[in-house]
Chains A and B, each alone.
Chain A
Amino acid sequence: MTKDKQTDLERVPTGIAGLDRILRGGFLKGGVYIVQGTPGAGKTILANQVCFRHVAAGGHAVFITLLSESHARMLQHLRPMSFYDEAAIPSSIYYVSGFNILETDGLKGIVDLIRREIKGHRASLLVLDGFSVTEESASSEREFKKFVQEIQSHTAASECTALLLTNGSNRAVTPEYTMVDGLIDLDNSLYGERSERGLLVRKFRGSGFLPGRHAFRITDDGIVVYPRIEAVFAKPSRRDEYRLRRISTGIRGLDEMIGGGLPAETTNGLFGPTGSGKTTSGLQFVGLSTAAEPGLFFGAFESPERLRVKAASIGIDLAGMERRGEVEIIWRPQGEHIMDDLGHQIIDAVRRRSIKRLVVDGLGGLMEAAVHRERISRYISALANELRALNATVLMTMEDRQILGASMRLPIDGMSSLLEGLMLLRYAEVEGRVQRLLSITKIRDSDFDPFLHEMKITNRGIEVGGRLSGAEAILSGYAREPKAVPTGQLPQKRHRPEE
């Protein structure tokens, strides 16, 4: 158990890392908490997982069921999960049914049962599964309130934390909601064809918590909660200690265009259509990683095997770099991911290995995972702020669905303000052939070359050519002969840095 610095109240960790983060360390010792959700929402697994983790840390738990599945079935379903430890039953976790007692002795019988079982098993954690049955058994609201009050008195006096599991009530406010110390909702909602489980702390007396809905999964390890990135990193974990330092992109011509490299500890976007060189640029960027300044390639599209071959084709020994601990590849092919899971994977990997060069290839993979797309810009912003705090320089690739044409639209509204650098790759038809082009739109606090440059992918990687001349309206995708411009009116070579 841990002590809360602010409240001086002792905490009972849930043992579920994400939930403990949301609850700022766990439940408060001796508190009574309702966990509610529809059947199948994950209440019983959550409560059992908390019990097993609690007893693994030296506590004792009693699990009382009312009208719910049989203990045998319940344990059968829990057995494959990694937290389940049969050796803990019955010495540390004790399962009893209280339904017969409820039938014969009513709510008073349940209170007596709770009191006796807490004492008899020296329980520091109590679960009452099927709490809604007790409300149905109460003859009046007054009797039910008295019942909840008695549970609170006994658990507080025994310093036993209680979880009351219920399917919930149709009423918006029920007496027990106002009386208990906390209320946690579990849901499993449908978004189009896919579903996502969510956890929401509605009430938590005596402590702050991370508000809003947090996604979770039921896995072989039990419940895994992914606190919302924007909520966890609303404030980055470290103060920004910005100093202008350059990090080479691994592409000489690009470095020359942006004053020597990307400003260190910034998040930069590389936007372009398919095949334009985004992944290759990313490989060149992580290709400069070292054991002292390692890199991470977090990809959604190309598998590690393909990346290694692609890197080898431009002279980068990615497999060797992985072996030497200079680069790590994390591949999360598109599927039904949880956006916050991906975000935490990135941040955890960056923190774990002190990653200095991070490529996210591509941003679309993260966006596809979003069930609430309006979150994306806040999510990217929080992610970028935390990565900056972790001293990582980030290159995010983003795909433009249009191969040729006038319009280039960033995938997220407000994206350009979230990024500290924005580089555009595109195709244009010049004199009857398709030409790759590179241009810079923004580099934070830096002078940069604003001209369109030709670009080629060779067996040495990306080579940036000279400024494109002899054509205009290139950005439309179809270049034409320029009108003559007097020499004196030619634009200056370098662009002024942003204010």
Chain B
Amino acid sequence: MRTVLIVDDEFGVADVLVAALEDEGYRVFTAANGRQGLERLAENKPDLVVLDFMMPLLDGPGMARAMRAERAYEAIPIIMMSAVGEAAVRERFDGYAAFLRKPFSIPVFLKTVAGVIAGRS
């Protein structure tokens, strides 16, 4: 079973994404900010991290850079998502596998997740 870590401070967004992934048979766990996200990584190494851009404590780029600095996590693909356009995100971190601009539809999300995981394997 594929495992996905969703890191988003907006619980409403995270809840919807969790439900959609679980319906497709993924195992999902969540964190509400980048710092919590790094803690979760240590507990369960996922196949994919879905990461929000702006969050309290540690933002998406901050967590992504910390992941890339750790050998154990550096290869985990990241889908970055944000309410602002990709240009602002790329300025801070561009090592992600895919970008989703919020709001997006569930089919688009699931297709992106499946594509990134398939690309990795």
Contact = CB atoms under 8 A, between A and B. Distances in A.
Interface of A: 64-65, 70-76, 86-87, 89-91, 94-101, 103-104, 113, 116-117
A100 B53 contact: no
A90 B57 CA distance: 14
B32 A71 contact: no
A72 B103 contact: yes
7 contacts: A71-B10, A75-B84, A90-B88, A97-B10, A103-B11, A104-B32, A116-B57
B9 A97 contact: yes
B102 A94 contact: no
A103 B55 CA distance: 16
B44 to A, nearest CB: 19
Given A71-B10, A101-B32, 10 more contacts: A70-B12, A70-B103, A71-B54, A72-B13, A90-B59, A97-B10, A98-B56, A100-B33, A103-B11, A113-B56
Contacts of B11: 97, 99-100, 103
A73 B56 contact: no
- Chain B CB count within 10 A is highest, among A75, A87, A96, A113, for A96
B16 to A, nearest CB: 10
B54 A90 contact: yes
A96 B55 CA distance: 5
Nearest to B84: A89
A55 to B, nearest CB: 14
- Chain A CB count within 10 A is highest, among B10, B11, B57, for B10
Q: Which 10 A-B pairs have the closest CB atoms?
A: A72-B102, A100-B32, A72-B83, A97-B9, A72-B103, A96-B56, A97-B10, A71-B83, A89-B84, A75-B83
B95 interface: no
Contacts of A101: 32, 56
Nearest to A91: B88
Tell me what chain A mostly uses at the interface: helix, strand, loop, or mixed. helix
Contacts of A97: 9-11, 55-56
Q: How large is the interface on B (under 10, 10 to 19, 20 to 34, 35 or more residues)?
A: 10 to 19
A75 to B, nearest CB: 5
B56 A70 contact: no
Nearest to B59: A90
Interface in B1-49: 9-13, 32-33
A100 B9 contact: yes
Contacts of B102: 70-72
Contacts of B115: none
A66 to B, nearest CB: 10
A95 B54 contact: yes
- Chain B CB count within 10 A is highest, among A65, A73, A87, A90, for A90
A136 B17 CA distance: 27
A387 B13 CA distance: 55
Interface string B50-66: 00011111010000000
Contact of A76 (B53, B57, B103): B103
Interface in B63-84: 83-84
Interface string B76-115: 0000000111001000000000000011000000000000
A259 B56 CA distance: 75
Contacts of B85: 86
Contact of B13 (A70, A90, A103): A70
Contacts of A117: 56
A54 to B, nearest CB: 18
A100 B52 CA distance: 14
Contacts of A104: 32
B25 to A, nearest CB: 26
A447 B85 CA distance: 72
A94 B54 contact: yes
Contacts of B33: 100
Nearest to B92: A90
- Chain A CB count within 10 A is highest, among B56, B57, B85, for B56
B10 A70 contact: yes
- Chain B CB count within 10 A is highest, among A87, A95, A104, for A95
A90 B9 contact: no
B103 A73 contact: yes
Contacts of A103: 11
Contacts of A87: 88
Contacts of A76: 83, 103
A101 B57 CA distance: 10
B7 to A, nearest CB: 11
Contacts of B56: 64, 96-98, 101, 113, 116-117
A423 B12 CA distance: 67
A424 B90 CA distance: 72
A94 B53 CA distance: 10
B114 to A, nearest CB: 22
Contacts of A74: 83
A95 B32 contact: no
Nearest to A73: B103
A100 B103 CA distance: 20
B33 to A, nearest CB: 8
Nearest to B56: A96
Contact of B83 (A64, A91, A95, A99): A95
Contacts of B32: 100-101, 104
A275 to B, nearest CB: 58
